[in-house]
Amino acid sequence: GVTSRWHTKKLPRKTHKGLRKVACIGAWHPSRVSFTVARAGQKGYHHRTEMNKKIYRIGQ
């Protein structure tokens, strides 16, 4: 989530609907979420590894 990805503060214990969130994601206007606001999503760049492939021929 946003807490582990961007290291934001956890909300207080009495928070309704989740603690590990961002309390304010922007002003009323402009009525869009800015790209600078910390949001949840993919953390890091992941490499997919291919294992146990048969090698039939190695080129020159």
Domain ranges of the chain: 1-40
User: What's the whole-model pTM score?
Assistant: 0.69
Phi-psi region of 14 (alpha: psi -120 to 50; beta: other; left: phi over 0): alpha
- Give me the DSSP letters along 22-54: -S----SSS-S--TTS------S---PPP-S--
Q: Is the pLDDT of residue 15 over 90?
A: yes
Length of the chain, in residues: 60
pLDDT at 3: 97
Q: Is the peptide bond before 30 cis (omega within 30 degrees of 0)?
A: yes
**pLDDT tens, 42-56?**
998 888 888 888 988
